[in-house]
Structure 1
């Protein structure tokens, strides 16, 4: 579930890690005609705190 608003996309979901339930958060930001940034975060405490564990920078060649 999520949306794009004001040039940013925030998407949330539920998953498991090592057999335990976690929350996921995926972020699209800094979107231009030639670039974008994507981040992945996990939360093991129901969304109170988030750990960023993957960032990708996209650019058009």
Structure 2
């Protein structure tokens, strides 16, 4: 569950790791025409403290200047 507000999307829910319940939180930010940032954090204490364990920075290629080559084999 979550939403975007002022360009940042925060989504949280329940999950489990090694059969133990945890909270997870996913954050989308820095969203632009050619880039975005995504982070995942986990909490084992119901959201009191969080540990960020995954970050991805997305970049879109400029396809006009870098043609895509298909492998025919």
TM over 0.5: yes
TM class, shorter-length: over 0.9
RCO greater where, 1 or 2, for CA within 8 Å and sep 6 or more? 1
Where does structure 2 lack aligned partners over 5 or more consecutive residues? Answer: 62-73
Where does structure 1 lack aligned partners over 5 or more consecutive residues? Answer: none
TM-score (norm 2): 0.83
TM-score (norm 1): 0.99
**Greater CA radius of gyration, 1 or 2?**
2
Question: Which is richer in strand?
Answer: 1
Paired residues, number: 61
Question: Structure 1 segments of 4 or more deviating over 4 A?
Answer: none
RMSD: 0.3
